[in-house]
Chains A and B, each alone.
Chain A
């Protein structure tokens, strides 16, 4: 039996609620099948305050081994590095995070806030991720941190993180299956796919048939601020809640798996020079892209130009 402690920092609980949609196995079944004991989760445990205190002491003294630490929400350092914007019984939560992480075999950052700081990074609350602040390595635990297993923090980016990714990562660490990570420590199994892959608007993208207001059929990349071709994530491959994804429903991808999410430029708008997006699909050469897209638009079939193809 392996143990799990779920720490909630400065977050909205969205990752927990995402996990509740896990489908291949329900959350409860997942824990039983993997033989995991959930020592603590702020919403899914009901031990009383005194027992929780004892549990924390036992983890800190090594009496209770901690196999997996899951952290949801950013680590709050404000005001002025004190962490007093987020306390547990009068103590800064960041201290608690430190203690738990130093005893854990695996440390998993669930969601973009825990991974990179998310919404509070660079703001008054001085939020950081566990091992990154936005793109900068370091974060709450420091750049050199490795957990008991020798792995650095595993970053399950996403706002919220996709339910299948959280469940999948739990399966992997519970069974000591090695996970290969990218440079932002996101497991390649899920973050080596672009959000763009699998989008039902791909054909429109291919021929550069653009949506410029809500509800038009077309690709959302050129005007509506879709980050699908720019960021990794399995949203259009695994789908959400068994059915859909934001781009499929006409909502641009906001790039929430990226360390610099949320960017400061307005959402629903693509920054561009003369109609060509400033940021081009990952790995693409600008000159080639311009030529290719010009030709593609010329070659677009009527059914797409008329926007009659369903998305």
Chain B
């Protein structure tokens, strides 16, 4: 039988902004893929020439889901330029708020974006768990959907208490934060946190965080499953049952390079300890190249625009040196995306909760990868269980804030001197960097590389596909009109095209 290659265009919903993926399908399997960001918002024009602090207000507007993370990266870049040391309380407040944003994002992504695809009638009506999936994940009415909307909304109140509102606050400033909440508000935060934690354990994990963390291998995961019905019925349990039956543990494997910028700097005086001893952040920065762990070296980060709709010479440059302009004229053959191709040491790299788990040496995920590779299932499991790793430390920091509430939260920074600084942190979706240059008391260059630019990058000058372009290869497509499997792969990277759309200069 001769096989024929079909070309399909897949537009994606439940993505911030616009993403279309073109795939070649041969014998019901994807043989090649091209990821295309179809929107370009040109933020850099607003940054160039503006006041040094303006990134704190403008960059959160790059993304409504991780506005606070952009704020944090912008503030860190300015902290570096001003060479200021932050008071412990400022670090705690920033960390607690960022954790809240990350956790709400993980749960909304899992339930509203990821598991929603399990209700796909055409693909799954014969799946034995289909009825239950609909009862849980039907948009706006499923039991889990309604619960996640309610619970995440409550968690976000902590951000409002710390920073005034969510999304789009600007309470992180060079030197610290703009205010410290009053004690009763901090106590409320503690209670909001307690309730959320209780719900997360009961409904999402089906067990205590401590029990979950005792699961360190694939075998122990199987035992955990059999142990109690609550485990099987939890969101995590149901996800694994549905996903295994649907085959999500058999495809979606990326290129096995994992990148992480590290996150949550540790205050000087704290009970929280780093995941990997010796680092001054809670989660670990670094690059994992198949088998070896390498220390993060920011000089290794380059952007390649060979296949992107931008003009720039040279086509590969470090973000501090990038000068970019959108192509306004036609396709010119090669380029196919508004997303650039960031590379680490010349290699495409996957970033996100799984990369964090790998970098933090979380035993369960190292074991899963050893067994099945980084499949769609493993990647998504890393996301929905990441809050289990963040929540305990978040609680500790809230307690420390209560204990130290009278201490300073801001080190005055009179002016921002000229200079260059990078703010490199972890967003919910992975490595986020802001590269800022201040000249004559104004922003002269502002460059952002988002997690989705890493994960959803197009090909580069070496013709290397981006991580999810690679991961799509080998993915089955049973019905070309309803390519739900491709969706599972891409969504396991949690695409956010709004933020991936590269920030470029005004042409004028």
Which residues of A line the B interface, CB within 8 A? Answer: 8, 10-18, 20-21, 23, 26-28, 31-32, 38, 42-50, 52, 76, 78-80, 85-89, 118-120, 123-125, 159-160, 213-215, 235, 240-251, 254, 256, 262, 264-269, 310
Tell me, in angstroms, the Cα distance from A302 to B117 when the chains sit together.
62
The residue of chain A having its C-beta at the shortest distance from the C-beta of B506 within the complex is A124
Which residues of B470-487 are within 8 A (CB) of A? 481-482, 484
A243–B167 contact, CB under 8 A?
no
Residues of A near B112 (CB, < 8 A) are 43-44
Tell me, in angstroms, the Cα distance from A86 to B36 when the chains sit together.
12
Nearest CB on B from A253, distance (A): 10
Tell me, in angstroms, the Cα distance from A118 to B185 when the chains sit together.
33
A46–B173 contact, CB under 8 A?
no
Residues of B near A11 (CB, < 8 A) are 64, 498
B67–A12 contact, CB under 8 A?
yes
A251–B42 contact, CB under 8 A?
no
Tell me, in angstroms, the Cα distance from A49 to B122 when the chains sit together.
12
B51–A269 contact, CB under 8 A?
yes
The residue of chain A having its C-beta at the shortest distance from the C-beta of B508 within the complex is A124
A266–B64 contact, CB under 8 A?
no
Which residues of B line the A interface, CB within 8 A? Answer: 9-11, 13-18, 20, 38-43, 45-46, 50-54, 56-58, 61-65, 67, 108, 112-113, 116-117, 119-120, 122, 139-141, 145-146, 149-150, 152-153, 156-157, 159-171, 173, 175-179, 181-182, 185, 188, 326, 328, 338, 409-410, 412, 481-482, 484, 498-499, 504-508
B165–A17 contact, CB under 8 A?
no
Tell me, in angstroms, the Cα distance from A16 to B498 when the chains sit together.
13
Tell me, in angstroms, the Cα distance from A268 to B181 when the chains sit together.
21
B50–A13 contact, CB under 8 A?
no
A12–B163 contact, CB under 8 A?
no
Residues of B near A246 (CB, < 8 A) are 164-165, 169-171
Residues of B near A119 (CB, < 8 A) are 41, 43, 46, 58, 61
The residue of chain A having its C-beta at the shortest distance from the C-beta of B15 within the complex is A42
The residue of chain B having its C-beta at the shortest distance from the C-beta of A50 within the complex is B481
12 additional contacts (CB under 8 A) given A124-B504, A246-B165: A20-B149, A23-B153, A26-B149, A42-B13, A42-B15, A44-B112, A78-B328, A85-B41, A88-B11, A118-B61, A214-B175, A241-B159
Tell me, in angstroms, the Cα distance from A159 to B54 when the chains sit together.
15
Q: Which of A28, A50, A85, A245 contacts B141 (CB 8 A)?
A: A28
Tell me, in angstroms, the Cα distance from A50 to B484 when the chains sit together.
12
Nearest CB on B from A190, distance (A): 15
The residue of chain B having its C-beta at the shortest distance from the C-beta of A246 within the complex is B164
A13–B65 contact, CB under 8 A?
yes
A-B contact pairs, 22 of them (CB 8 A): A8-B17, A12-B63, A12-B64, A14-B61, A17-B64, A31-B140, A52-B11, A80-B328, A86-B39, A87-B38, A89-B9, A124-B504, A125-B42, A214-B179, A215-B176, A215-B179, A240-B164, A243-B185, A246-B164, A267-B54, A268-B57, A269-B51
The residue of chain A having its C-beta at the shortest distance from the C-beta of B327 within the complex is A79
The residue of chain B having its C-beta at the shortest distance from the C-beta of A32 within the complex is B141
Tell me, in angstroms, the Cα distance from A243 to B153 when the chains sit together.
12
Tell me, in angstroms, the Cα distance from A47 to B484 when the chains sit together.
11
Nearest CB on A from B61, distance (A): 5
Nearest CB on A from B341, distance (A): 19
Tell me, in angstroms, the Cα distance from A110 to B17 when the chains sit together.
16
Tell me, in angstroms, the Cα distance from A237 to B355 when the chains sit together.
43
Q: Which of A14, A46, A244, A269 contacts B139 (CB 8 A)?
A: A46
Residues of B near A48 (CB, < 8 A) are 120, 122, 481-482, 484
B64–A85 contact, CB under 8 A?
no
**Interface SS of A by simple majority:** loop
Tell me, in angstroms, the Cα distance from A265 to B57 when the chains sit together.
12
Tell me, in angstroms, the Cα distance from A38 to B140 when the chains sit together.
9
Residues of A near B50 (CB, < 8 A) are 264, 266
A123–B506 contact, CB under 8 A?
yes
B161–A243 contact, CB under 8 A?
yes
Residues of A near B9 (CB, < 8 A) are 89
B164–A262 contact, CB under 8 A?
no
Tell me, in angstroms, the Cα distance from A228 to B153 when the chains sit together.
26
B326–A85 contact, CB under 8 A?
yes
Tell me, in angstroms, the Cα distance from A88 to B20 when the chains sit together.
9
* Given A124-B45, A267-B54: A244 in contact with B328 (beta carbons within 8 A): no
Residues of B near A49 (CB, < 8 A) are 10-11, 13
Which residue, of A28, A125, A243, A254, has the highest number of chain B Cβ atoms within 10 A?
Answer: A243
A87–B18 contact, CB under 8 A?
yes
Nearest CB on A from B2, distance (A): 28
Residues of A near B38 (CB, < 8 A) are 86-88
Nearest CB on A from B184, distance (A): 11
Q: Which of A14, A32, A76 contacts B168 (CB 8 A)?
A: A14
Q: Which of A43, A214, A244 contacts B176 (CB 8 A)?
A: A214
Q: Which of B11, B51, B157, B481 contacts A242 (CB 8 A)?
A: B157
Nearest CB on A from B327, distance (A): 9
Residues of B near A251 (CB, < 8 A) are 163-164, 169-171, 178
Tell me, in angstroms, the Cα distance from A103 to B210 when the chains sit together.
55
Residues of A near B141 (CB, < 8 A) are 28, 32
Residues of A near B116 (CB, < 8 A) are 46
The residue of chain B having its C-beta at the shortest distance from the C-beta of A311 within the complex is B179
Tell me, in angstroms, the Cα distance from A85 to B179 when the chains sit together.
40
Q: Which of B52, B160, B182 contacts A241 (CB 8 A)?
A: B160
Residues of A near B62 (CB, < 8 A) are 12
B64–A15 contact, CB under 8 A?
yes
Tell me, in angstroms, the Cα distance from A11 to B481 when the chains sit together.
29
Residues of B near A28 (CB, < 8 A) are 140-141, 145-146, 149
B157–A124 contact, CB under 8 A?
no
The residue of chain B having its C-beta at the shortest distance from the C-beta of A214 within the complex is B178
* Given A214-B176, A244-B164: A268 in contact with B42 (beta carbons within 8 A): no
Residues of A near B61 (CB, < 8 A) are 12, 14, 118-119, 159
Nearest CB on B from A60, distance (A): 18
Q: Which of A13, A26, A46 contacts B146 (CB 8 A)?
A: A26
Tell me, in angstroms, the Cα distance from A70 to B53 when the chains sit together.
33
Tell me, in angstroms, the Cα distance from A113 to B338 when the chains sit together.
21
The residue of chain A having its C-beta at the shortest distance from the C-beta of B150 within the complex is A26
Residues of A near B506 (CB, < 8 A) are 123-124
Q: Which of B15, B169, B481 contacts A249 (CB 8 A)?
A: B169
Residues of A near B64 (CB, < 8 A) are 11-18, 160
Residues of B near A247 (CB, < 8 A) are 164
Tell me, in angstroms, the Cα distance from A11 to B62 when the chains sit together.
8
* Given A20-B149, A240-B160: A79 in contact with B326 (beta carbons within 8 A): yes
Which residue, of B139, B141, B161, B164, has the highest number of chain A Cβ atoms within 10 A?
Answer: B164
B139–A120 contact, CB under 8 A?
no
B171–A250 contact, CB under 8 A?
yes
B326–A124 contact, CB under 8 A?
yes
B508–A46 contact, CB under 8 A?
no
Tell me, in angstroms, the Cα distance from A26 to B166 when the chains sit together.
16
The residue of chain A having its C-beta at the shortest distance from the C-beta of B162 within the complex is A249
Which residue, of B64, B410, B484, has the highest number of chain A Cβ atoms within 10 A?
Answer: B64
Tell me, in angstroms, the Cα distance from A210 to B166 when the chains sit together.
26
Tell me, in angstroms, the Cα distance from A245 to B120 when the chains sit together.
40
Tell me, in angstroms, the Cα distance from A11 to B113 when the chains sit together.
19
* Given A28-B145, A89-B20: A245 in contact with B153 (beta carbons within 8 A): no
Which residue, of B17, B53, B176, has the highest number of chain A Cβ atoms within 10 A?
Answer: B17
Tell me, in angstroms, the Cα distance from A48 to B11 when the chains sit together.
9
Nearest CB on A from B364, distance (A): 30
